[in-house]
Structure 1
């Protein structure tokens, strides 16, 4: 009898494990997103690793009405399928989808945007989902970044813009975080009038502009850009009980003019050395 109970328990446990294994784990935020009217807000949705984009489909819908907010299908964003209220306001980070990042940026936040949104991901025979809740704050705290992608050269410094478009007293800035959203890495934290980075990759390479902070300018200077720095960065500001964020895309990383010149010199030097060796060899007397 005991043996039968143990076998039954094992079967139940195995079934649960198989259900977990079959499901696709989709990550979302740890809590509600609070944003003011008129701002832009990023609704996080991602998978740990995207092995293939074949048969990939991503749906963002309102949970209260099943309204289609945005759709990614057949390798592209289907803007024509969006509900009219979200056209030109809801956007994917299309260059990040291949990395498993299906986050949605919703611009010009309205009072009626408050509610729950479901991100459902279909990959071949698997599917998974996460739910994101937006709470709209009637008070305005607007944070702006850069609307266009920023290009940079490897080894150079670059500035990622982030500024607060409101009359917030400097003492009301509680916290500012810079995060690399496509990898979920905290790049820099500003708190208690101090800025620091706990991530080894960005330590001693990122800083704010102290003289600009009282003006609401929390732009980030990223030093000695590397190829792995490419991606989406989010600046989130907490002030006076409000919070808002803005995103900046760092793209098109290439080699600087200095790097290219050094490469040309190295190639030239190698060619000259080889030519000199050939001349010496040719002039040497044969035995």
Structure 2
């Protein structure tokens, strides 16, 4: 009962202190690190209690489905200028290779290579070009998890004269003038790893916990834990330290990367850092915790039970 009471008291102390922590954004340049420090907390808890250093981020939640991820998608749209000024979705394709063509007229006539998300070539093929295909095409790449949006535009004009066929840059976009009835390839190439390396996404998403003892510089900090979205976990230091400091196995499904330090003692004090990295998404931020250890919480003294009243003789 006493141990449980101490843990409850420690958790209350942490919850009280966290809202009044000093929150700011700076760039910490020590040790060559350019992680953005998004929060700094001053936390104290009594010796013998359990301290929870709270590190949360919904941006790090791993949402890849088991049928291959649908977080990356390419859309091809067509804008027709006059007289109706209409916008039409031509097709889209997810990174798993599923391709959807919106107009039955374009079936077997319009398409993309199914390996687009492997080689970064998202170009659109149009066979038997018609005058109705004329307009401005946009190749739109979306990464829903990373919140990335990139667009490439190509203008397609149709001619009946082979002598008028040409391709040029108008200062904003490529312009293709092609012969009616021919086949055209509208270019869209983007080989950035964020669009092509789906197999390594889990390895590029990782949380690190470090600890600096008092008087130790940041670049000399000790690594405590590495946890990857793939489930791989690496813990460092002596066994007793690994047993008392941990984060939950389902951290990436909950977005909760908090570090639990059990049986808090004076040697546990120091500066703790929670590093969140998503390398290809460009997420690189850190939360810093200055942890101090107070004397043990006083134990409640129980009064001896009163003797039962004596019966008169």
TM-score by length of 2: 0.36
TM-score by length of 1: 0.39
Higher relative contact order, chain-length normalized (CA < 8 Å, sep 6+): 2
